[in-house]
Amino acid sequence: MLLLALSLTVLQSSDTQPLDGFPGLAAGRKPTVEIAWNRLYDYDEIYAHFDRLALTYPKLLTMEVIGHSIESREMRVYTLNNPETGSASSKPAMWIDGNVHGNEVQGGEAVVYTAWYLLENYASNERVRELVDSSSFYLLPMVNPDGRASWFRDAHSPHSSRTGVMPIDSDRDGLFDEDPPNDLDGDGSIVQMRKYMPGEGTHRLDPDDPRIMNRVPANDRGIRGDWIYLGQEGIDDDGDGRTNEDDVGGYDMNRAWPSMWMPDHVQYGAGPYPLYWPEARSIARFLYEHPNVAAVQSFHNAGGMILRGPGAESFGTYPRGDLRVFDELGEDGEKMLPFYRYMIIAKDLYTVFGGFATWTYEGLGIISFTNELWTNDRNSPDDRLGSDRAEQLWFDDHLLQGAGFVDWHAYDHPLYGEVEIGGFRKDVGRVPPSFLIEEMLHRNAMFCLRHARAMPSIVFEPTVLTDLGDGVTAIDVTVRNDHAIPTRTARAAEQGIGSPDLFTIEGENVEVLAGGFRSDRFRPERISLAEREPERLVRESGIGGRQTLRIRWFVSGSGTVRIRHLSEKSRDAEVEISLDS
Amino acid sequence: MHELALALCAATTFALSGPEDSPSELKLLDHAGLTAAIAQIGTAHPGVATVLPIGTSREGRSIEAVELSGAEAPGKPAILIVANLDGPDVFDSAVALEHATQLAEGYGSDDAITALLDTTTLLIIPRANPDAAEARFVSPRWERNVGGRGVDNDRDGRTGEDPPSDVDGDGAITQIRVLDPEGTWIVDPTDERVLVEADPKQGERGKYRVWTEGRDLDGDEQIAEDPVLDTRLNRNFPSGWEEHADDAGLFPSDEPEVRALMEFVMLRDDLALVLCYGAPENLVEKPSSVKDDAKNVMRIPPAGILQSDADMLAVLAKHYKETTENESKRAASDEGSFQRWAYDHRGLMTLSAVLWQMPEEWTEPEPDEEPAEEVSDEEAEEEEEMPDEGAEKPKKEKPPEPSPGAKRMKWVDGSEESWRFVPWKSFEHPELGAVEIGGFSPFALTEPPKSEWNAIAEREFEFVKELGSYLARVELAECVAIDLGGGLWRVEATVENPSLLPLQSRSARRTRTIRPAMLSIELPEGAKLLGGQVQKQISDLAGSGEREETVWLVSIETPDLITVSLETVNAGGATMRPEVN
């Protein structure tokens, strides 16, 4: 309630008259809903941003709760759609999500930014308006809100809080999550521990920067270091002789999806069966119930990648027709997202069984990408500054004034005695520093727009009637998909996913004698005639990307004829003609 | 829905336990009857039998287990019996229910049963698939194997528009055969009631087309090709799940019954063994196995039972066959089956038996009395020398071997079970014209003759009673403290598994889904552990007396106050003070 009141105040106070539209161009323009894009927001703030947008643009943005997380946080889908041009489900839709891994937080901001950009520009930018009017967006900013909340609330390393928070007995001793890493010094960061052991260690301190430890090369001369690494900050909470071995949770919700799913012992984190966790299950249910989703984007961090499947080598390769679409979008993505590489998960990254975006393609037949947002390489636009440890510290010293690094400091450890604790904080490495967040968000949001605009768009060309004599008319219908994504991907057609496209013709005083798809623009007799029901042509492969389909119907009768194209992933298109002219 | 409602009203009778001196009559019970019978067991035997809700089917029927257990014992193992996973196996649910009844009644009066339930918990789910089973009790009779979702089997953009039906109104859905030049079936030369597939390589030309009884409601010249429902429960489990297959479900655990059963298995960490009634069976026909260390193929473990487990299964199968003399088997894929999941993903030794399959009766005719077939070596040599003579001998045509169907007809003919085959009868089909309708009746191939019901239940029960004795039970075979002088003691504990089965199956050691045995030492105040682990996890312990020794070094004044405890979730346990030497 407090947040709602706040946003109302913001609305009322905006009495200056900026130029229409934001952003993209900066001078003299002010968004209706101001969001500072130079920081990261906790889960409730993410929803609050969306709620402010929904309050400001109530017609275009609506919210539904599709489920709850383990800790009962809402799984919210915000639907961005212009109801004046049709319901959300009547249009091809793009699904965008983020933050399935709790620590990969900026995916959430990327989803908010995309909504914000579309809404702020709807009134002033013709291209944005045209896109929003012809498609819809299902936006779920946080697949793992519990993990996100924990990342903000609790002490973490850059890599922790990836899991959800369902308790798992990772060390199989009958106790759950009883030996996590510990924030021993209470500074809100889980960093590293090291111990000074003169002449007995494996490492020595870098003479130029004692924050850095260098491993002593293997040698036969008895030369040893003075320091040893003791791993992550923590103690042996459960007294079983191991440290930090049973952290909160212990699974991976991006290994939980049905296609090419493998159990835990093959694929770490997969859980006992696909869609086991309520977060994943609620999303799957939503997507099964929304067959109009024709594009999927999922945001992760980090590494600067535009990923597509397959996730597992054993899948083989994707059908060529679909690869053309993936490649076109992926290659454009590389241009829009400097430092990002377009990659195949199984081939260029590592094996992922049961990944989300591989499931949305392999299981649901939707062109899908996973972007790994941010890479340390982006800290410097050229190779004078790289991203090894010394260079990261240089960056931290000069551009963050040392804010990202916990300096080594003494601690009296119950087992190891006097140790030092120090290292990079959780928000270094996998998320950008504050001043580079906005660029990351904008470029990725624009990649979403590029993808959304590729969703199928069907138009009928003028219909041609030919009088064949004896009261028989040939109706030549030409129907076009101007965009790159087919109404039925090759994967969907191959596996019989969803419903095939239908082309129907009807008229009160018309009898449809025959009909079929033409295969030659100039020779109408080259036609594959329907064996039955010529008034209802079924096409498993739909209309391909940038494909023109030609249909010829043979009819007798008179009056008006209505011709329709029905497809799950495009707006229904229809044309009416009169046989009487 | 009307039919289902009627069935619920009509069938209100259920089996009550009979007088003690005569075995109770087995009855096939519909859902209402079965639910009442299960409740009755719980009410009549409150100390021994508990009814546990497992879940609710898609159509809203309850699924229940009967838990049977006597005295409590630490680490008491449980055996899970699951029946009627496939809808038509209604008889199996009667057998499982009878087991529950006999166990409940026998506890306290029958020594073997009392001993079993004091050391082992039995969990019996008589009917895992109540929706499909209900078809056994409605007219027309139909072998319904599916629940759950329907798919568009014939890819015409309509789902479930052409289901099977009782076209001739005889109360059973059987088969249609129709003379058709495109047919691929011919009559078995030994029995014209039976159809076999024509073999074009033998110059055979098909004569008939064969359909499941039904109409062609969608006018596509296919009969009953798009049923309303398609998912088969025992294809909807995660192991080996076949994505996009019509009968496998949208995703593993899509069916509520499947998810409920999995959740139950995961909840019961006391499970040590699973026994299923139904296909795929593995007690009569040896299942395929792979080496324990078989290499993954593209990171995926090859399918099959691991050799060590297959060896144990072979021993159990031998006991099963000796006890029951059952030889029934039924070809069935294990892909997506509960049996495969329980073993592959949960590591549970899983047995499965087909309780009855219509026998194939045929004896190969005796070889000719003439010595033509059997020739001595000398004669053979002569023959080689005089090949012409051999060729001149009049050849006797070997009578063709009947097809499996024809062999079953011989069994039907020799039994008093004529209901099992509906003679082909001419019928004027609304779409096909002149056809014949007939063939094996629903349930004819899998439901045993009534005269055998009690004997089957008895013989299976004998095996169930044996099962407890095979389960792993760990003991502290020895526990001694040896004086080393100076207040130092060497404590030795020997863990032994005297039973047949190993502490954990090879599969469980791979899946890591069963908590290992935990051996721990507890010392009184003032004592110190100078060597050895406080806790030690043991999962690799074969049966038949395999031992594992553990040693600790303790500084203690009163070694008789040391406690060594062995804890398991499903294989017993013990606590001892060492014998002081």
Q: What is the pLDDT of residue B11?
A: 35
pLDDT > 90? residue B373 = no
Please tell me the distance in Å from B356's CA to the nearest CA on chain A. 32
- Taking the C-alpha atoms of residue B129 and residue B87, their distance in angstroms, rounded to an integer, is 6
pLDDT at B393: 58
Q: What is the pLDDT of residues B387-416, one digit of tens each?
A: 454 455 556 677 789 999 999 999 999 999
Rounded to a whole number, what is the distance in Å from the CA of A500 to chain B's nearest CA? Answer: 6
Those residues of chain B whose CB sits closer than 8 Å to some CB in chain A are 151-152, 155-157, 219-221, 237-239, 241, 243-244, 250-253, 259, 262, 266, 296-301, 344-345, 510-513, 515-516, 518, 533-535, 537
A537 CB neighbours in chain B (<8 A) are none
SS3 for B358? coil
| Strand pairing report for A74-80 and A192-201 | unpaired
Which residues have C-beta within 8 Å of that of residue A13, sequence separation ≥ 6?
A: none
Give this prediction's pTM.
Answer: 0.93
Encoded amino acid at B552, one letter: W
B222 vs B215: CA distance, rounded Å: 8
Q: Please tell me the distance in Å from B421's CA to the nearest CA on chain A.
A: 36
Biggest CA-to-CA distance, chain B: 101
Q: What is the pLDDT of residue A150?
A: 97
Q: How far is A21 from chain B (nearest CA, A)?
A: 44
DSSP letter, residue B365: P
- Model confidence over A551-566: pLDDT tens digits? 999 999 999 999 999 9
Question: Which CATH number among 3.40.630.10, 3.40.47.10, 3.90.1150.10, 1.20.5.510 corresponds to the domain B2-11+26-137+231-357+448-470?
Answer: 3.40.630.10
Structural domains of chain A in order of their starting residue, each with its CATH number: 45-138+251-374+433-453 (3.40.630.10), 168-247+382-424 (no CATH), 458-578 (2.60.40)
Q: Kindly state whether A533 is in contact with chain B, defined as any CB-CB distance less than 8 angstroms.
A: yes
* Two tokens, residue B7: 């069935």
pLDDT, tens only, A411-463: 999 999 999 999 999 999 999 999 999 999 999 999 999 999 999 999 999 99
Q: What is the ipTM of this complex?
A: 0.94
| Cβ distance of B152 and A497 shorter than 8 Å | no
Tokens of A273: 């069966």
Nearest-CA residue of chain B relative to A492?
Answer: B244
Residues of chain B found within 8 Å of residue A499, distances taken between Cβ atoms: 152, 157
SS3 B434: strand
Q: Can you tell me the mean pLDDT for B276-296?
A: 97
A538/B244 touch (CB, cutoff 8 Å), yes or no: no
Interface contact B511-A265, CB threshold 8 A: yes
| CA distances in angstroms from A276 to A168, A252, A434, B259, B336, listed in the order given | 13, 11, 36, 9, 16
Residues of chain B positioned with their CB less than 8 A from the CB of A274: 238, 251-253
> Which CATH superfamily hosts domain B475-580?
Immunoglobulins (2.60.40.10)
Torsion, Cα of A507, A508, A513, A519 (10° steps): 0
Structural domain boundaries in chain B: 2-11+26-137+231-357+448-470, 175-228+402-440, 475-580
Spatial CA neighbour of B85 closest among B143, B37, B133, B29: B133
What's the pLDDT score for residue A30?
Answer: 84
Three-state SS for B339? Answer: helix
Give yes or no for residue B1 having a pLDDT over 70. no
Average pLDDT over residues B269-282: 98
Among partner residues B152, B252, B518, which is closest to A258 by beta-carbon distance? B252
The C-alpha atoms of residue A108 and residue A444 are separated, in whole angstroms, by: 12
CB contact under 8 A, A263 and B238: yes
Cα–Cα distance for residue pair A473/A468, rounded to 1 Å? 5
Residues of B in contact with A174 (CB under 8 A): 515, 518
Interface check for A264 against chain B (CB to CB < 8 A): the answer is yes
Determine whether the interchain pair A241/B533 forms a contact, defined as Cβ–Cβ distance below 8 Å.
Answer: yes
H-state helical runs in A337-434: 356-362, 389-399
Across all residues in chain B, what is the average pLDDT?
Answer: 92
- A317 interface with B at CB cutoff 8 Å: no
Question: In angstroms, what separates the C-alpha of A420 from chain B's closest C-alpha?
Answer: 28
Q: How far is A528 from chain B (nearest CA, A)?
A: 16
- A239/B534 Cβ within 8 A: yes
Pairwise CB contact (< 8 Å): B253 & A540: no
**pLDDT tier, B10 (very low <50, low <70, confident <90, very high otherwise):** very low
Question: Of the candidates A356, A202, A228, which has an alpha carbon nearest to the alpha carbon of residue A283?
Answer: A356
Q: According to the model, what pLDDT value does residue A27 have?
A: 75
Q: Could you tell me if A538 lies within 8 Å of chain B, comparing CB atoms?
A: yes
**Residue B18 scores a pLDDT above 90:** no
Alpha-carbon distance B355 to nearest alpha carbon in chain A (angstroms) = 29
Strand blocks (E) in A519-559: 527-529, 536-539, 548-557
Confidence of residue B16 (pLDDT cuts 50, 70, 90): very low
A261/B238 Cβ within 8 A: yes
Closest Cα in chain B, distance from residue A342 (Å): 23
Residues of B in contact with A290 (CB under 8 A): none
Q: Find residue A539's DSSP bridge partners.
A: A501
Report the pLDDT averaged over residues B14-32.
64
Q: What is the pLDDT of residue B534?
A: 92
Beta carbon pairs, A and B, within 8 Å: 100
Q: Look at residue B407 and give its three-state secondary structure.
A: helix
CA distances from A16 to A19, A29, A30, A49 (A): 10, 10, 9, 22
Give the list of residues 6+ apart from residue B363 with CB closer than 8 angstroms, or none: none
The three-state secondary structure class of B176 is strand
A504 contacts chain B (CB < 8 A):
no
B34-45: average pLDDT: 98
- Could you say which of B157, B253, B299 has the minimum Cβ distance to residue A499? B157
The proportion of chain B whose per-residue pLDDT surpasses 90, expressed as a percent, equals 88
Q: How far apart are CA A441 and CA A449, in angstroms?
A: 12
Give the pLDDT confidence score for residue B395 in this predicted structure: 61
**Distances from the Cα of A418 to the Cα of A197, A407, A414, angstroms:** 10, 16, 9
C-beta neighbour count of A34 within 10 angstroms = 12
**Six-digit token string for A270:** 């997969």
Instruction: Compute the distance between CA of residue A68 and CA of residue A74 in angstroms, rounded to an integer.
Output: 5
Please give the residue of chain A at the shortest CA–CA distance from B298. A314
B297 contacts on A by Cβ (under 8 Å): 314
List, for residues B439-485, the tens digit of each pLDDT value.
999 999 999 999 999 999 999 999 999 999 999 999 999 999 999 99
Q: Which residues pair with B462 in a beta bridge?
A: none
Give the Cα-Cα-Cα angle A10, A12, A14 (nearest 5 degrees).
70
Task: Find the CB nearest A540 among B155, B296, B344.
Answer: B155
Are A172 and B512 a contacting pair at CB < 8 A? yes
Residue whose structure tokens are 């009578």: B399
Distance from the Cα of B362 to chain A's closest Cα (Å) equals: 43
Q: How far is CA A377 from the centre of its chain?
A: 22
Query: What pLDDT score was predicted for residue A9?
Result: 43
The pLDDT of residue B380: 46
Residues in chain A: 581
Q: What radius of gyration do chain A's Cα atoms show? A: 28
Interface test with A, best of B182, B250, B251, B552 (most A CBs within 10 A): B251
Contact (Cβ atoms closer than 8 angstroms) between residue B82 and residue B439: no
Q: How far does the CA of residue A515 sit from the closest CA of chain B (Å)?
A: 16
Which chain A residues are within 8 Å of B157, Cβ to Cβ? 499-500, 502, 536, 538
Residues of chain A with pLDDT under 70: 1-24, 581
Those residues whose C-beta lies under 8 Å from the C-beta of residue B181, and which sit 6 or more positions away, are none
Rounded CA gap, B49 and B17, in Å?
A: 15
Interchain contact, B155 vs A239, CB within 8 Å: no
**CA B202 to chain CA centroid, nearest Å:** 38
Hunting for tokens 């594959």 — which residue is that?
Answer: A528
Report how far residue A578's alpha carbon sits from residue B37's, in angstroms, rounded to the nearest whole number: 68
- pLDDT tens for A107-156 read 999 999 999 999 999 998 999 999 999 999 999 999 999 999 999 999 99
**Is the pLDDT at B376 greater than 80, yes or no?**
no
B515/A174 CB distance under 8 A: yes
Per-residue confidence (pLDDT) for residue A23, from 0 to 100: 60
Asked if the Cβ–Cβ distance from A273 to B243 is below 8 Å, we say no
- Give how far A481 is from chain B: nearest CA, Å: 20
Across the range B276-292, mean pLDDT stands at: 97
